Amino acid sequence: MQQWISKLSEQEVGAIIPNEPMSKYTTWKIGGPADAMIVPENNQQLACLITQLYEGQIPWLIVGKGSNMLVSDKGVRGAVIRLSGELEEIRFSDNEVVAGGGASFVRLSIMAGKQGLTGLEYAGGIPGTVGGAVYMNAGAHGSDVSRIFKSAEIVLENGELATYTAEDMDFSYRHSILHERRCIVTRASFSLDKGERLEIGAAMAAFKDRRRKTQPLKQPCAGSVFRNPQGDHTARLIEAAGLKGHRIGGAEVSNLHANFIVNTGQATAEDVLTLMEQIKDTIASKFQIALVPEVFFVGER
């Protein structure tokens, strides 16, 4: 065991799992081992952990449901952090909901609907955490986090706590100010509206049925791989370029939705990266459009 892991084991930072395969924590089911997976259960453990990593100059990575992440076949050096316990709790008060950064965004949307609160119907198909959704300004069906966001509690890279309001977040398409900060969302609050439970449930069911028919949800994937260019759809461009079904190793452009890359069984991160590069090069050549990835690559290549 590395010295820094042994030192952390003497602190109250949560469970520590050395050499944990990251393929267990990504929706692509891809990724080599992390030096250590660390699972804090509350703000105190998380703040202590981040302070120790900061002082020891140990690199770290936060992972939620792994739905926007491609992890290297060589794994991740340093610490990988997953939030649990109190950091996954969801609490409602009138029209406001406060959710831990590690809470499931899908679960939050379902619970809101059962409370008769509208504004999160679109989230029923976003398989990430609340923290990841805030970070990415996650959205679908014409809505996104910025429309309901009130504030977020953040642990900064030195272990200090901060609160960001909506005005601080600089939200835009699939972007927030957190892209430019080294931090972790521990809790976020959202303002919703009163609605009719039956109407909310019907809308969520319609969105779910649409996803089932148009997205390869039965295969390991990471959602949309590239952002939509302004005024167009990446899936249309990829299909027009004749790349539907194109395959590199175990990675394949989905025949159901061309902006999804699926793991057909034995895909490596290198397969996915090579396929992404071929897609980008083809679209740039045919349409003079530079595609921007919506997924993050982490680890050593």
Q: For residue range 273-293, what is the model confidence (pLDDT) as tens digits?
A: 999 999 999 999 999 999 999
* Token pair recorded at residue 189: 């609050």
Contact between 53 and 79 under an 8 Å Cβ cutoff? The reply is yes
Question: DSSP 3-state assignment of 213?
Answer: helix
* Token pair recorded at residue 50: 């981040």
* Token pair recorded at residue 32: 């080599």
Contact between 131 and 63 under an 8 Å Cβ cutoff? The reply is no
For residue 224, indicate whether it is catalytic: yes
Q: Is the pLDDT of residue 1 over 70?
A: no
Give the whole-angstrom CA distance, residue 280 versus residue 291.
6
* Token pair recorded at residue 33: 């081992």
The 10s digit of each residue's pLDDT in 134-189 is 999 988 888 899 999 999 999 999 989 999 999 999 999 889 999 998 999 999 99
> Looking at residues 293-301, what average pLDDT do you find?
91
Report the run of H or E that residue 194 belongs to, with start and end. Answer: strand 193-194
**Which residue(s) pair with 185 in the sheet?**
154
Catalytic one among 104, 109, 146, 224? 224
Query: First-to-last CA distance in the chain?
Result: 23
Contact between 279 and 240 under an 8 Å Cβ cutoff? The reply is no
Catalytic one among 88, 104, 153, 174? 174
For residue 294, indicate whether it is catalytic: yes
